[in-house]
Amino acid sequence: MNNKPLPGRELTGFDDLLARFRAMTPKRRVVVVCPTDEPTRAVVEQCAAEGSAEFLLTVEADKAEMVREIADRHPGIEVFVADDIDAAAALGVQLVREGRGDVLMKGGINTDRLLRPVLNKEHGLLPPGQVLSHITLTKVPAYSKMLLFADAAVIPAPNDEQFRAMLRYTIDTEHALGNPCPRVALIHFTEKVNQKFEYTLTYADLIKEAAEGAFGECVVGGPMDVKTACDLHSAEIKGIDSPVAGKADVLIFPILTAANTFYKTVSFFCDAPMAGVLCGTTAPVVIPSRADHDISKLYSLALACLL
């Protein structure tokens, strides 16, 4: 995260996210690995045309021509050609390591294949001991706030240290987006803290650490379910007296399958757009899924640039 002054007000939606992205000065420099697929190419061309970011593109030799055509249409875009797709990924990582790029973005390359050089111990982007995690920002029509949640992509079953990292990354992101004191819900099917219920003792520890200031300005509450976290009426019926209940800005899930279920459910059943970014790396990494809306690729890029 950069030490930027807070924008002074909370984010109201994805239009607001895009407006802030377009207004950034100086522009962020985005390294895109293999923008050979149509959706990635479209995002690069749109942002280049608007001038909302600067681009460095890496590409494997046998697809260099189609990427050079993008640069031809948008003066200022630099193209770096590598022997093959793995070398193009390594080159993208290297450009970020050298400080020539602020954000790394995945194009027409498999996520695992891009992550190999990102996670390389000697030449990668993850400092030793740092936890890699993933945050997702969404706006569901039925809820007045934007929701940030973790981890729907990287950590299958967080340990205590990984839970702390997930809290740090989501809370830092909320701060960066202008929310001075995010309300964070630790998600579970129960409201009881009891050794019978996995994670709930860890949750109690995290809440104590948060109250002691370990994560900066925030309010952490739970365990509670997704409905209790977002629906004040439901929280009242259940008699839950927490400043987080019904007003959550952040949802922390105890297991990837639950976070993924939330992601896929609001994406498909609520047609909610998503922005997702990898955290813990020295620069934000954008790894959109093939099944995401095209607009989600643009939102993800905008979010990464604003961190």
| 74 near a copy of itself, judged by CB under 8 A | no
Burial degree of 147 (CB within 10 A; 0-12, 13-18, 19+): buried
Closer to a copy of itself by Cβ: residue 230 or 302: 230
- Name the minimum Å distance from CB 148 to a copy of itself: 15
Strands 103-106 and 133-138: unpaired
| 267 near a copy of itself, judged by CB under 8 A | yes
- How many residues comprise the chain? 307
- Name the minimum Å distance from CB 114 to a copy of itself: 17
Both tokens assigned to 215: 């994560």
C-alpha span between 8 and 29 (Å, rounded): 24
Could you give phi then psi for residue 306, rounded to 5 degrees?
-85, -10
Nearest to 104 by CA among 25, 9, 31: 31
| 203 near a copy of itself, judged by CB under 8 A | no
Both tokens assigned to 57: 């593109």
Q: Which stretch binds a copy of itself (CB under 8 A): 44-52, 75-83, 184-192, 209-217?
A: 184-192
| 261 near a copy of itself, judged by CB under 8 A | yes
Kindly list the distances between the CA atom of residue 26 and the CA atoms of 50, 287, 290, in Å, as whole numbers in the listed order. Answer: 14, 24, 30
* Selected binder of a copy of itself within 96, 140, 171, 274 (CB under 8 A): 140
* Selected binder of a copy of itself within 24, 87, 258, 295 (CB under 8 A): 258
Could you give phi then psi for residue 216, rounded to 5 degrees?
80, -165
- Are 305 and 102 in contact by the 8 Å Cβ rule? The answer is yes
* Selected binder of a copy of itself within 142, 195, 213, 241 (CB under 8 A): 142
Both tokens assigned to 23: 């207004």
Q: Which stretch binds a copy of itself (CB under 8 A): 8-16, 46-54, 171-179, 221-229?
A: 221-229
Closer to a copy of itself by Cβ: residue 176 or 184: 184
Q: Binding residues for a copy of itself, per CB under 8 A?
A: 140, 142-143, 152, 156, 187-189, 197-198, 225-228, 230-231, 234, 237-238, 253-258, 260-262, 264-271, 290-291
